Amino acid sequence: MSERTQSEAFAAPRRELAADTFGMWIFLASEAMLFGALLLVFLAARIAYPQAFAAASGHLSLPLGTANTVVLITSSFTMALAHVFADAGRWRGATAGLAATGALGLVFLAVKGYEYRSEYLEGLAPVLGAPFRYEGPAPANAELFFNLYFTMTALHAAHLLGGIAVVGFVLARWRRTAAAGRLRRVTATGLYWHFVDVVWIFLFPVLYLIDR
Amino acid sequence: MSAAARTLATYLALLALLAATVGSAFVELGLGNAVLNVAIAAVKSVLVVVVFMRFLSGDALPRLAAAAMLLWLAILFGLTLAARLA
Amino acid sequence: MSADTYPPQSYFAAGYGPRAWFLTTDHKRVAWLYLVALTAFFFIGGAMAVVMRLELATPQGDVLTADVYNRMFSIHGIIMVWFFLVPSIPATLGNFLLPLMLGAKDLAFPRLNLASWYVFAFGSLFTLFAVIAGGVDTGWTFYTPLSSLYSDSYVSAAAFGVFIVGFSTIMTGINFIVSVHKLRAPGLTWFRLPIFVWTMYATALVMVLATPVLAASLILIVLERVFGIGVFNPELGGDPLLFQHLFWFYSHPAVYIMILPGMGVVSEILPCFARRPLFGYRAVALSSMAIAVFGFLVWGHHMFVSGQSAYAGVVFSFLSFLVAIPSAIKVFNWTLTLRKGHITFDTPMLYALGFLGLFTFGGLAGLFVASLAVDVHLHDTYFVVAHFHYIMVGGMVTAYMGGLHFWWPKMTGRMYSELWGRIAAVTTFIGFNLTFFPQYVLGYLGMPRRYHAYPAEFAFWHVLSSTGAVVLAIGYVMPFFYLGWSLLRGSAAPANPWRASGLEWQTASPPPQHNFARTPTVTEGPYAYPEPEDER
């Protein structure tokens, strides 16, 4: 393996960076189809049961959801800053940005976990054997709403967890990574992180803001 | 504007749009609420994609990937919903 | 294989131990890892087909119970579709040849390529576990609500395995697309690319955009079974039909994942053994992309009798006919390539000509089932089984065998027995038609698919089909032996045994570790064989 490029196939790091970026974008397009399919399932159900979904949406915590959106947007901001610093070769700023991004990701997951816990205690979560308790119109359709909510937010959280792991990996290997490799890793991790942010930007209004 | 300043301005714009979307939920607009929510989400996404993900700088291939993604999402949503609602 | 049999510069010489294979990032070695795994799955899936044909040799259910038969055809389909056909040509020949055809040292992401094999191995072994534990009885299509609410077989485990294997497909797709864009040798413009590269690119596009939707539908099935989330359960307001939309949004384009690479292989073989340039090169190249795109617009033709609206049926039926256009463009151009050619019937050519006939035959039957009214009669009968086996087996597997023989000297540096090769090719062709042509008749007469017993009046055609299956099995087992023999005792292959054009033939057989001694510069288009006019 040559020192300057990761892959045998490339002669120059610049070209490899462009290939990495393109590969990442294709992966994100693929991921968008995954989340798109779930959103389609949700949309089909929401079209079928507008009242039940609106009423059920009101049971989600708007303050926590909004706060978490702020957290995630901020994490994207720190990630973008890390990229700006990495571009300029200001490595301390870049590592600080990455660390802040990972920490904010953990905060998001903690808040999400707290939300899950209160919804579970309310009896809204599809846990094995636990009965579904819900006061409101069309409880069966509301149950479908909550199940879709848990499915989509859990899949999003799993992606975020993956992102945090990658950020941790990049930081752990930072000292042993050459400058070209650092820039490539920050670029690719950033693209993924921002994509996970964009998914939440759609999930938040679609799930929390149906009828307030 | 320096890259850092542009990043900060985008961040503030994203927070303002978040406030707008949460605020709009408390105004009764019927179907307009859903449309507005998705429209604001789309604007926020464009900001993230263009500024944070540097969509418009660099070579054209990421734009090819994104265009393919939009086309295929349109096929998935369009044909499925059309077949179900027909 | 002993260390001294290969010249020191060949890629085999880089190492012979397990580490050199299982930790390699050389695309040529990853291709071999896939080849070994896929061969195993091909024979497992094939053995199940043989057992099923044995059961169907008599009208009574005497070999298997109905329940075991259900599990047999389900696993046959799951293994053949996801663990053989989808990765077949891309992961083996594609992995090996794409960098060679591009004039590159490797794929864009060599480590991702190796990772894709491990992901494939993990997912496929997981599904094999489900088979050994007790199997799946839903059919390869996992239709809800049978799969989500009623089946008590190992649906979750099998679906999870397929879900995992999907990741390896996406990894391969990303690698191919980026490589074609970024790693073409100097002078190798898009319209100088061999058709094989075009079809790999089109296949990769479908892999990347369709597979995640299958992943979503499988996740929902597993969640439905484990947590009862109700997406496909009418009790909560869910809709079982929605599953079919998601499933076929993937699985119809997946048909093109399974046939486009075969079209690519045949586009390389036919010009070489007709000594003619490929007729209508640009049309063949662009029709590959057209097939990839149109393939996404037609999935509703699987749901004509599933309760979708009549309007949707009419539109999907019309759109389905669109796919026939680029497919016909290819067939006509292949045929014209043969015109005035100096045709020799070497083994790869026999397979390629077999493909041409069988694919055309299967494709024309596709027009029958794409017609709304006719399909109401033919849906879920053996006619459909015959149709897709003509495409998948008669088309893809035949092309796969043809490609394997064509590039075998390049991959191994060894020649196989030409006589045995021709015998196997002809045996396969006869066996295939004997197996599957009677199934068209059976289906037309009303024999439904997926039954282990049947009325006695269908016995004649079933016996013919079962006899053919034995012949076909012999045709598939033969190459295993003579190709294996050639590895040990075959004579050394020259760099270009077929006098073929193409960059892969300009390097040694087997190629050196980094493919080319120096990066080639391309100055002409593909298929540089003499034009018919040149020889008057």
Q: What is the ipTM of this complex?
A: 0.94
CB atoms A73 and B15 under 8 Å: yes
Q: Does A22 sit within 8 Å of B59, measured CB to CB?
A: yes
pLDDT surpassing 50 at residue B23? yes
List, for chain C, all residue ranges whose pLDDT scores fall below the cut of 50: 1-4
**Nearest neighbour of A32 by CB, restricted to B4, B52, B73:** B73
In this complex, which of C111, C181, C242 lies closest to A22 when CB atoms are compared? C181
From chain C, pick out residues whose CB is under 8 angstroms from the CB of A155. Answer: 219
Is B48's CB within 8 Å of A197's CB?
yes
8 Å CB contact between C168 and C119: yes
Distance from the B65 Cα atom to the nearest Cα atom in chain C, whole angstroms: 10
> What's the gap in Å between the CA of A61 and the closest CA on chain B?
12
Q: Quote the pLDDT of residue C1.
A: 41
What is the token pair recorded at C518? 């120096």
Taking the alpha carbons of C167, C168, C170, C171 in that order, is the dihedral positive or negative?
Answer: positive
Write out chain B residues lying below 8 Å of A44, CB-based. Answer: 80-81, 84
- What is the structure's pLDDT at C536? 52
A181 exposure class (CB count in 10 Å sphere: 0-12, 13-18, 19+): buried
Best probe of the A interface among C102, C178, C214, by most A CBs < 10 A, is C178
Measured between CA atoms, the residue of chain C closest to residue A1 is: C25
The identity of residue C3, as a single letter, is A
In the B/C pair of chains, how many CB contacts fall below 8 A? 33
Name every chain A residue with its beta carbon within 8 A of the beta carbon of B72. 29, 33
For chain A, say whether C183 makes contact (Cβ under 8 Å). Answer: yes
- C241 in contact with A, Cβ within 8 Å: no
| pLDDT value of residue C3 | 41
pTM reported for the whole predicted model: 0.95
The alpha helices in B1-86, defined as continuous H runs, are 3-24, 31-47, 61-85
Quote the pLDDT of residue A1. 37
Question: Is A6 inside a domain boundary?
Answer: no
- Which residues make Cβ contacts (< 8 Å) with residue C86, sequence separation at least 6? C169, C207, C254, C257, C258
- Residue C372 CA to residue C158 CA, distance in Å, equals 33
Q: Please tell me the predicted confidence (pLDDT) of residue A84.
A: 96
Residue C10's SS3 state is: strand
User: Domain for residue A49, yes or no?
Assistant: yes
Q: Which two tokens stand for residue C333?
A: 């151009």
- Cβ separation of B14 and A25 shorter than 8 Å? no
Strand-pair partners of A41? none
- Identify whether the C-beta of residue C492 lies closer than 8 Å to the C-beta of residue C505: no
Comparing alpha-carbon positions, the chain B residue that sits nearest to C213 is B76
d(CA C320, CA C369): 10
Residue A7 lies in a domain: no
CATH number of the domain bearing residue A122: 1.20.120.80
How far CA B83 is from CA of C216, C245, C246, C259, C299, in Å, comes to: 20, 9, 12, 27, 11
Domain span including residue A181: 13-208
8 Å CB contact between C156 and C242: no
Out of B7, B59, B76, the one facing A77 most closely (by C-beta) is B7
pLDDT at A2: 40
Whether residues B38 and A202 touch (CB distance < 8 A) is answered with: yes
Distance between CA atoms of A82 and C331, rounded to whole angstroms?
A: 54
Segment C413-434, tens digit of pLDDT: 999 999 999 999 999 999 999 9
* DSSP character at residue A58: T
- Domains of chain C are 27-526 (1.20.210.10)
Q: Which chains touch B (3 or more CB pairs under 8 A)?
A: A, C
Cβ–Cβ below 8 Å for B61 and A210? no
Q: In whole angstroms, what is the distance from residue A69 CA to residue A148 CA?
A: 19
d(C-alpha A182, C-alpha A91), whole Å = 9
Length of chain A: 212
Give the nearest chain B residue to A15 (CA atoms). Answer: B59
Verify whether the Cβ–Cβ distance A150 to C109 is below 8 Å. no
- Nearest one of B25, B44, B54 to A200, comparing CA atoms: B44
Tell me, yes or no, whether A1 lies in a domain.
Answer: no
Would residue A2 count as lying in a domain? no
Record the tokens describing residue C426, joined without a space.
């002809």
Residues of B within 8 A of A73 (CB-CB) are 11, 14-15, 18
Look at chain A and report how many structural domains it folds into. 1
Q: Does B67 touch chain C (CB under 8 A)?
A: no
Q: Å from C14 to nearest chain A CA? A: 14
Query: Could you tell me which residues are beta bridge partners of residue B70?
Result: none
Rounded to whole angstroms, the Cα distance separating C224 from C145 reads 10
Chain C within 8 Å of B18 (Cβ-Cβ)?
A: no
Q: What is the pLDDT of residues B28-79, one digit of tens each?
A: 888 888 999 999 999 999 999 999 999 998 889 999 999 999 999 999 999 9
pLDDT < 50 stretches in chain A = 1-3
Q: Is A33 domain-assigned?
A: yes
Is residue A99 a part of any domain in this protein?
A: yes
Q: What is C340-384 written as a DSSP string?
A: T------HHHHHHHHHHHHHHHHHHHHHHHHSHHHHHHHTTBHHH
Interacting residues of C345 by C-beta distance below 8 A, sequence separation 6+: C273, C353, C422
DSSP secondary structure letter of residue C302: G
Annotate C179-188 with b (16+ C-beta within 10 A) or e (fewer).
Answer: bbbbbbbeeb
Q: Does B52 touch chain C (CB under 8 A)?
A: no
Distance CA C503, CA C499 (A): 12
